Amino acid sequence: MTAKLHGPLASADVAATTNTAVYVVPAGRKASCQVNLVNRSAADVTVRVAIIPGAIGTLTNAHYWDYGPTLAANGGTLNRDRIALGAGHTLMVWASATGVSAGLVGVEEDV
């Protein structure tokens, strides 16, 4: 029987101007998920989201799913769903300032 995790898979307080690995799929696992970003700060924040088929150090321009959307101050959100990730894949988030929370919900299971 396949072991599955349902629900929250990861969360992060995204650092300013830093590529933050929110979630890395463990070896021998796969995931189907949704990422949610929310701006907690009093100023607009620009964000980037990338799916990297490996470690965060292997990021290239081709890996970006979102590059530059603005999250409005005090609660602006960005939601992306139907994300399929394989073993070793990294979901990365970048923000132009502090105050962005990232959350990942979904299903992780054995390959």
What are the tens digits of pLDDT across the range 18-44?
Answer: 999 999 999 999 999 999 999 999 999
- pTM given for the model: 0.94
φ, ψ dihedrals at 4, nearest 5° = -125, 145
Tell whether the model's pLDDT for residue 48 goes beyond 90.
Answer: yes
Quote the pLDDT of residue 3.
85
Tell whether the model's pLDDT for residue 63 goes beyond 70.
Answer: yes
- In sequence order, the 6+-apart residues with CB closer than 8 A to the CB of 33 are 9, 23, 81, 83, 85, 91, 104, 105, 106, 107, 108
Structure confidence by residue, pLDDT tens digits, 68-82: 999 999 999 999 999
Give how far Cα 102 sits from Cα of 19, 27, 78, 83, Å.
12, 22, 9, 15
Quote the pLDDT of residue 1.
52
